[in-house]
Structure 1
Amino acid sequence: MPESALGRWLKGLRDDRSLSLRDVSQRGEVDHAYVYRLETGAKESPSVDVITKLIEALTPSSRNVEILRFLASHPSVDVGLADFAREDESVTPEEFHMLTTVVNRGARPDYATSLARIRRFMQEEDDG
């Protein structure tokens, strides 16, 4: 079954809290089978209501909430990018959004290099 960035992010948030699918289902009042389908990528683009319920159930940081909402409305985000941002908590939601727009030419995206370029650009903009 194909994975999605949203699914990986949701599963990561659930794992961070050591919650089962049923725990999240009960806390958020969302069918556990639907949560499973979101996590596996079988379903994408859940409603704002469902995302809100999942956020209430998972109680993630504000950074993770912003990225989760972004992923819910952008199903084509690369799974590797989501993994990169989950591992590097210094990646802000704004930087994450910018990374999703970077065109990677070559066999393998280099998110760290792209992030460094984005940060340099943003610093130059701030310096003015």
Structure 2
Amino acid sequence: MPESALGRWLKALRGDLSLRDLAQRSEVDHAYIYRLETGAKESPSDEVISKLATALRPSTRDGEILRFLAGHPNVDADLADFARQDASVTPEEFHMLTTVVNRGARADYATSLTRIRRFMQEEDGDG
């Protein structure tokens, strides 16, 4: 199981497509893709992410989160799983969730997301 948020996200986007098929479609070495998925490599170049995104054809949301994760290797991998399971999480909300600090407690992404959404609604109401 991939240990990095980027790795988990990338592997989920790949789905049933083999590493070699993705490598062929993206022109990115299959061993490098594997290292990204396992967390052995982090922070791929914009060029590599663009090639992978072109080959995988993710939704706009999934592509934006993929690009975000490529530049932010310290995001909690469980947060990536949470966002994959809840397609209503927007890239902006995802970004905000990455900044939430859980002091000594287990991360409760659902509660944090509810608070973020409430805050964003209040901000929109003040405008």
Q: What TM-score does the superposition give when structure 2 sets the normalisation length?
A: 0.96
Question: How many Å separate the matches in 1 of 2:25 and 2:92?
Answer: 29
Question: How many Å separate the matches in 1 of 2:53 and 2:11?
Answer: 12
Deviation at 1:3, TM superposition (A): 1.1
Number of equivalenced pairs: 126
| Other-structure match for 1:78 | 76
Deviations 1:57-82 (A, max 9, x none): 10000001100000000000000100
**Does residue 119 of structure 1 match 2:127?**
no
| Other-structure match for 1:11 | 11
Q: Using a 3 Å threshold, how does the CA distance of structure 1 residues 83 and 2 change in structure 2: closer, same or farther?
A: closer
Q: Which amino acid aligns with 2:85?
A: E
Conserved 8 A contact 1:14-1:58: yes
C-alpha RMSD over aligned residues: 1.1
Percent identity of equivalent pairs? 79
Question: How many Å separate the matches in 1 of 2:12 and 2:34?
Answer: 13
Three-state SS of the structure 1 residue aligned to 2:58 is coil
Conserved 8 A contact 1:14-1:20: yes
Q: What TM-score does the superposition give when structure 1 sets the normalisation length?
A: 0.96
- Aligned pairs for 1:1-128 (under 5 A) are 3-15=3-15, 18-128=16-126
Q: Which amino acid aligns with 1:104?
A: N
